Structures are given as structure tokens and as C-alpha cells.
Amino acid sequence: MQKTQFIAEVAERAGVPKKQAKQIVDTALTIIAEQLEQGERVVLTGFGTFEVRDRRERQGVNPQTKEPMTIAATRTPGFSASNSFKSVIRGTKSTQDLQREME
């Protein structure tokens, strides 16, 4: 599912125009990005947790030259699904159950 399809689905289910749904989705994603930029975690109960993960410096190999190289330490966004969300994917819980838990 692409972002435009996601926005169309949100608009349909929420009963709002696509323009308004796009604004809401974009705002939610911006808020998540801003919180991660500040080093904060974003916990969406019943769905999962967005957080910044630190990757330490490590050794790698240049695939073109086969020379050893050092890969610099980086910060990267990460997502951990909640147990409820995982249960939906595994088929042991329905999306309706998940929705009730997130309310």
C-alpha cells in the first residue's frame, strides 16, 4: 500500500475528504519525526513504539575492492510492534480486537 492509497483508505473510513485525511496523516508523521529527532520515544498503545537506535561503529568490507573499512556509528529510527499488533499478524487476534485495545 502506497501513501496515497493509505490516505484514501483513512478518508473513506473516517468519513472525511481526502485533503483533510492527507493533512492528518502528514501531521501525525511529522509529529513522530520531530519527537524522534529530539531523542524521544513515541508509544502508540496497541500498535507499537517508534524510537531512535544507536548503531556503533563497526568493521565492514568494501564490496568493490574487498578492502576492510570502518563503518561509522549512526543513529537510525526503529519500530517495535506491540504484542497485540504481532498477534493480529500471526492470526491469533482480529483487527477488531486490536482496535478496541487502542481506544
Percent of the chain with pLDDT over 70: 99
Percent of the chain with pLDDT over 90: 76
pLDDT, residue 92, reads 80
Cβ(39)–Cβ(52) under 8 Å? yes
Please state, in angstroms and rounded to a whole number, the distance separating the CA atoms of residues 103 and 75. Answer: 32
Whether residue 52 is predicted with pLDDT greater than 80 in this model: the reply is yes
User: Cβ of 55: how many Cβ atoms within 10 Å?
Assistant: 12
Cβ(69)–Cβ(60) under 8 Å? yes
Which residue in this structure is represented by grid cell 504484542? Answer: 83
Average per-residue pLDDT for the chain: 92
Mean pLDDT of 62-81: 94
Residue range 21-49, pLDDT digits in tens: 999 999 999 999 999 999 999 999 889 99
| Cα–chain center distance at 79 | 5
What domains can you pick out in the chain, each with its CATH number?
A: 1-39 (no CATH), 41-103 (4.10.520.10)
Cβ(80)–Cβ(52) under 8 Å? no
